[in-house]
Structure 1
Amino acid sequence: MLFLLGCSTYNQSIAPYYKSVSAGNYQQAEKDLSNTGALKKSRNKLLYLMEKGRISHLNAQYDTSNKYFNEADQLLDQGLTSVGDDAVGVLLNPAAQKYKGEDFEKFMIHYYKALNYLYLNKTEDAIVEARRITLQAQAQGDKFNNKDSRYSNDAFSLTLQGMLYERNNDINNAFISYRNAAEVYLKSPDKTYYGTTMPLGLQQDVIRTAKLNGFNTEADEFERTFGIKYEPAKPSEGGELIFFWENGRAPIKTQVDLFFSLIRNSNGDLFFTDAGGGILIPFNYDGDRSKVNTKSVESLRAAFPKYIAQAPYYTSATLTTNNEQIAFSKAEDINELAFKTLQQRMLNEMGKILSRLAVKKIAEYSIRAAAKSNGKTNDLLEGIGYGIQLYSLLSEKADTRNWQSLPASISYARIPLQKGDNKITISLKNAQGATETQTINVEGNGRLKFYNYATLK
């Protein structure tokens, strides 16, 4: 029983790989990933494919990266839920089930696949990825009630979708995507979306593409809504560059233990409550509720996942090109997404975990009570009862898995390019105020180009 499951978190089990990623040693990280036993388990196949796709992308192996991401997509399309996997969750714990991916992780697959295709000059494949973003959004909409405030769309992915359509000179669909992204922000009570305010660049893109389509009424309405007057700049001869800055490291998951008791209200309904009485969760028990002894289900130890944020090494960045300094706008806060989406589903997660523990506890109590019937003790039944108790104790574990090579946030800037060679400098500032610079060369060819830069310290 002691070897039933290791007590380490997922982050600890992949520590060498994660350390190499954080150090920017991506070639070593690829080797570490291949040697990580935890990721070779079948239940972690989706995680393995996402990490392989990510590290291949960081190593500029774009074809290889999409090979892994496409396989991950196929897994998600086929579905990772089964009766057997559900049974594992009930009898053991969620960490023993197949990893099904966080909702925002599924959108991030499309982001990296689209960039891979663009870098391989496969524009049509990138457009297919843009359309898949819509399908992913629809799947999220089906999952949650449209009136629900939970994460059912992704503003950054819709913005990216507009950029991809614009890259393909499909200005009509570009406008629709930009507009849809803007509406995600506008529908929020505080006009923010999971830690990000609407980027000024997105506001300008909505108005600009509306005017290019001849939708002047819509353009005027959005100018009033955004409170800006937008005058399109003269197109640059060399086109434009969209520069993505992927900064910091995604939060890691750890385990937190809480204790609950089972209570019965005046109607005979069963509820779980924590020690402070601040949490009340219904227990939907399929058996005879009247025969459930609540005294037998006291002090349940339940293990829940909890995110821990990691402070990024770099706190800000700017771009400089042709003696012009350009600021970044944050477009995706993965830290905030992780914390908020886990919080939104926590009560549901608690209900599942506590129900599983209570069923085990009721079975244990029933067997131990039967072992002492008629004034005699049945050693075998008593032993089975203690065995169930020990099994419940040792098997309880939170699911601490997540796609950990993702950045904490993604910011972007749109840069005008001159015809021919362009030198673009990114200046990175850390918490101590020290600045580091990196210069890249981009060939301006009159089209919209993309570049992503990762600082995963």
Structure 2
Amino acid sequence: MTTIRTYILRASVVGLMLFLFGCASYNDRITPYYKNISAGNYTEAQKELDKNSLIQKPRNKLLFLMEKGRVSHLLGDYENSNRYFNEADQLLEIGLTGTLDATVGVLVNPMTQRYKGEDFEKFMIHYYKALNYLYLHQTDEAVVEARRISLQTQEQNDKFNNKDKRYAQDAFSLTLQGMIYESNNDINNAFISYRNAVEIYQKSPDKTYYGTQMPLGLQKDVIRTAYLNGFTSEAVQFENAFGIKYKPEKAPEGGELIFFWENGLAPVKTQEDLFFTLTRGDGGNLFFTNAGGGLLIPFIYSGDRDKFNISAVESLRASFPKYIAQPSSYSSAVIKGVQGDINLEKTEDINVLAFRTLQQRTLNEMSKVLSRLAVKKVAEFALRESAKRDNQKNNSLLEGLGYGIQLYSLLSEKADTRNWQSLPANISYARIPLKTGENEITIALKNAQGAEETKTIKVNGNGRIQFYNYSTLR
């Protein structure tokens, strides 16, 4: 008896130390990489990524590939960037869910499962792949990537059975799709993509979509391409809806630059601990309630609920992921040109997407986590009850096993705090007319203190649509 209790005491001390270490979030454990990304030290960031043991684990392979693709893109290594993104795409197509993976998640915690990616992260893979192909002058491949946005949209719609309140489409990705088609002189498909993006905004009661208002540029593009296709009635409908009268303009001799400004860094996940009790309701149904009684979470259990020992589950501490927004150094930006200032319009707000999509699935995730913990609690209780009834030898053994399960539950309980952290907080864009030959374009950035900083780039106007993305990831 004494030996077993001594062992349990020692194991508890060691376990407490492991528990405190285990409380570190994913962000905490990749901090050197994240800091270098924020500081613009992309070469050092890549080195930190390559030597980080956590992100190298098989369960984090998708994360590793997405981060490698992103940092390679930031370094201008577009070919290798797409090599990583294509491998990430293949993982997603094959599927990252399996019986063993699901079992590990039930027995331990979601952090031990393979990372499957947030829904908006999958769309962002297409964004960077398309830009990479365009920068490599592989237009056909960029068009293929544009088409894959439609496939991703369909897959997302099928996933949620077209529920209006779920993130089932991405207006920015469809806008990008239209731009790529237009750059390839496919005006018909460009119009269809712009129209599909517009309809997403129009379906929303407040005409916004996950933190973004419908950009004026998108409104003009759908009207312009409707007229170019000869779809006069649809063009007039959009003019009336937007209060815009289309005025044909001569195309710029040097073409256009579609400029994307990627500002800030995506929010990071941390762990939040909440306490619940298990209650039997009407009809024998079991549900969890928090201390304040504001939450009622259904209990997921395949066995006989009437025989479930509810007294074994007095209270549960459950860990859930929670996003924390990262402050951005820059609040706004405009393009300075000879024809006047051109405003950048926000087209994707990853901050809002992250918070809302997590909120949309919170109830389901809470139910899974609490049900898993309740089953562990019942197993622990059963061993202790057996210890009271059995002989002295078995009593000590069962008591030790009971404490072991309790310690295991404490150590293994952990929220999944992983996410693609080098994504920007939001993306804004503008279409900039170009003259033939060299164009000097100045981006005027306003920082958090109100001071203005400028960045100048040079673009050679060749009569076509070109793309450029500029990142201020801090």
Q: TM-score range by the shorter chain?
A: over 0.9
Q: Secondary structure at the match of 1:400?
A: coil
Structure 2 equivalent of residue 318 of structure 1: 334
In the alignment, is residue 331 of structure 1 matched against residue 347 of structure 2? yes
Report Cα offsets for 1:167-202 as digits up to 9, x if no partner: 110000000000000000000111000000000000
Q: Secondary structure at the match of 2:410?
A: helix
Greater CA drift, 281-290 or 32-41 = 281-290
1:434 to 436, 443, 451: 451
Greater CA drift, 283-292 or 263-272 = 283-292
Structure 2 equivalent of residue 443 of structure 1: 460
1:107 to 96, 109, 123: 123
> How many equivalent residue pairs?
457
Structure 1 equivalent of residue 6 of structure 2: none
In the alignment, is residue 223 of structure 1 matched against residue 239 of structure 2? yes
Q: C-alpha distance in 2, partners of 1:11/1:191?
A: 34
Q: C-alpha distance in 2, partners of 1:295/1:415?
A: 67
In the alignment, is residue 202 of structure 1 matched against residue 218 of structure 2? yes
Question: In the alignment, residue 381 of structure 1 is paired with which amino acid?
Answer: L
1:265 to 281, 296, 302: 281
Cα shift at 1:31: 1.1
Cα shift at 1:23: 0.4
Q: C-alpha distance in 2, partners of 1:42/1:232?
A: 55
Structure 2 equivalent of residue 454 of structure 1: 471
Cα shift at 1:288: 2.5
Greater CA drift, 147-156 or 71-80 = 147-156
Structure 2 equivalent of residue 95 of structure 1: 111
Greater CA drift, 77-86 or 318-327 = 318-327
Do the aligned partners of 1:247 and 1:455 also contact (CA within 8 Å) in 2?
Answer: yes
Structure 2 equivalent of residue 43 of structure 1: 59
Q: Secondary structure at the match of 2:418?
A: coil
Q: C-alpha distance in 2, partners of 1:327/1:361?
A: 57
1:142 to 158, 163, 170: 158
- The correspondence of residues 273-284 of structure 1 with structure 2, limited to 5 A, is 273-284=289-300
Cα shift at 1:454: 0.1
In the alignment, is residue 383 of structure 1 matched against residue 400 of structure 2? yes
Do the aligned partners of 2:259 and 2:432 also contact (CA within 8 Å) in 1?
Answer: yes
Cα shift at 1:265: 1.2
Q: Secondary structure at the match of 2:283?
A: coil
Structure 1 equivalent of residue 3 of structure 2: none
2:195 to 176, 179, 196: 179
In the alignment, is residue 83 of structure 1 matched against residue 99 of structure 2? yes
In the alignment, is residue 405 of structure 1 matched against residue 422 of structure 2? yes
2:148 to 126, 129, 132: 132
Structure 2 equivalent of residue 23 of structure 1: 39
Q: Secondary structure at the match of 2:54?
A: helix
Greater CA drift, 227-236 or 355-364 = 227-236
Question: In the alignment, residue 450 of structure 2 is paired with which amino acid?
Answer: G
Do the aligned partners of 2:191 and 2:222 also contact (CA within 8 Å) in 1?
Answer: yes
Q: Secondary structure at the match of 2:284?
A: coil
Q: C-alpha distance in 2, partners of 1:85/1:55?
A: 29
In the alignment, is residue 347 of structure 1 matched against residue 347 of structure 2? no
Identity of aligned residues (%): 69
Question: In the alignment, residue 125 of structure 2 is paired with which amino acid?
Answer: I
Structure 2 equivalent of residue 32 of structure 1: 48
Q: C-alpha distance in 2, partners of 1:394/1:291?
A: 28
Q: C-alpha distance in 2, partners of 1:17/1:362?
A: 41
In the alignment, is residue 296 of structure 1 matched against residue 312 of structure 2? yes
TM-score by length of 2: 0.95
Report Cα offsets for 1:15-65 as digits up to 9, x if no partner: 001000000111111111111111110110000000000000000000010
Do the aligned partners of 1:247 and 1:456 also contact (CA within 8 Å) in 2?
Answer: yes
Cα shift at 1:375: 8.6
Q: Secondary structure at the match of 1:368?
A: helix
Q: C-alpha distance in 2, partners of 1:374/1:255?
A: 40
Structure 2 equivalent of residue 237 of structure 1: 253
Greater CA drift, 338-347 or 219-228 = 219-228
Do the aligned partners of 1:199 and 1:331 also contact (CA within 8 Å) in 2?
Answer: yes
Greater CA drift, 377-386 or 9-18 = 377-386
Q: C-alpha distance in 2, partners of 1:264/1:22?
A: 49
Q: Secondary structure at the match of 2:93?
A: helix
Q: Which has the larger helix fraction?
A: 2
Cα shift at 1:374: 6.4
1:396 to 413, 425, 428: 413
Report Cα offsets for 1:127-180 as digits up to 9, x if no partner: 000000000001100100213311000000000000000011000000000000
Q: C-alpha distance in 1, partners of 2:425/2:175?
A: 18
Do the aligned partners of 2:300 and 2:368 also contact (CA within 8 Å) in 1?
Answer: no
